[in-house]
Amino acid sequence: MPRFVALFRGINVGKAKRIAMADLRALLTSMGYGNVRTLLNSGNVVFDSTGTASNKHATRIQTAVAESLGVDSLVVVKSARDMAQVVADNPLASQPLDPSRLLVALTQDNHTLAALAPLGHTDWGHEQLHTGQHAAYVWCADGILQSKAAVALMKGLADNGTTRNWATIEKIHAMLQSPDAL
């Protein structure tokens, strides 16, 4: 059965948009999704489904969470195959970098990613920004909060995407490959 990850933007950050992961798992299970598991407290939900259209899952889950849990948050859904490609395409993977400072941006549509491509041609000093077909990757040498490249990326994403650090991407990828991972 196909496996997917739903990535919520901006939940459980500060006091706004709070969702208990147990409630999120219960909701997705009640919607017919199988083997529902969460990672961390920031809205990463891995699940099985017979349907294969990521955008339909994203809309369905976002609507259900807003209606049932009272939180309206962008949801980006990627298949296990999509996330494997995100991992494989990372142009910075061969460099010994702190995974907490490597930010990965994901969107539900490729148009948003394509619009970010010019950022990859900007000189960011000791930071790096690369855009690909499945994700954008930002090396934030001095940390994410001090990164001018990350700020530009977030501005370009607007409300059309979400980010995760590389350590989280690797954990999600492992969960998608094996239901028993982590």
What are 38-63's pLDDT values in tens digits?
A: 998 778 999 999 877 888 999 999 99
* Residue 179 confidence class, pLDDT cut points 50, 70, 90: low
Whole-number Cα distances in Å, 108 to 8, 52, 98: 11, 14, 26
Question: What pLDDT does residue 54 have?
Answer: 85
Cα–Cα dist 164/100, whole Å: 9
The dihedral sign for the CA sequence 13, 14, 17, 22? positive
Question: What pLDDT does residue 180 have?
Answer: 62
The answer to whether residues 86 and 103 touch, using CB atoms and an 8 Å cutoff, is: no
Cα–Cα dist 122/113, whole Å: 16
Whole-number Cα distances in Å, 13 to 9, 19, 22: 10, 10, 17
Question: What pLDDT does residue 63 have?
Answer: 96
Query: Which CATH superfamily includes the segment(s) 3-79?
Result: SP0830-like domains (3.30.70.1280)
Q: Which two tokens stand for residue 65?
A: 């969470």
Cα–Cα dist 131/12, whole Å: 27
C-alpha closest to that of 45 among 59, 63, 27:
27
Mean pLDDT of 2-31: 89
More confident residue, 27 or 55: 27
Question: What pLDDT does residue 181 have?
Answer: 54
Question: What pLDDT does residue 84 have?
Answer: 96
Question: What pLDDT does residue 178 have?
Answer: 79
Question: What pLDDT does residue 165 have?
Answer: 93
Cα–Cα dist 109/141, whole Å: 28
* Residue 104 confidence class, pLDDT cut points 50, 70, 90: very high
Looking at the predicted structure, is the pLDDT value of residue 106 above 70?
Answer: yes
The answer to whether residues 135 and 83 touch, using CB atoms and an 8 Å cutoff, is: no
Q: The domain 83-172 is classified under which CATH number: 3.80.10.10, 3.30.70.1260, 3.90.1560.10, 3.40.630.40?
A: 3.30.70.1260
Whole-number Cα distances in Å, 100 to 43, 69, 104, 138, 180: 17, 30, 10, 11, 24
What are 127-165's pLDDT values in tens digits?
A: 999 999 899 999 999 988 899 999 999 999 988 999 999
* Residue 94 confidence class, pLDDT cut points 50, 70, 90: confident
* Predicted TM-score of the model (pTM): 0.92
At residue 28, what are phi and psi to the nearest 5 degrees?
-65, -35
Fold agreement between 3-79 and 83-172: yes
Cα–Cα dist 27/36, whole Å: 10
* Residue 17 confidence class, pLDDT cut points 50, 70, 90: confident
Average pLDDT, the chain: 90
Query: Domain spans of the chain?
Result: 3-79, 83-172
Angle at which helix 21-30 crosses helix 54-69, to 10 degrees, equals 120
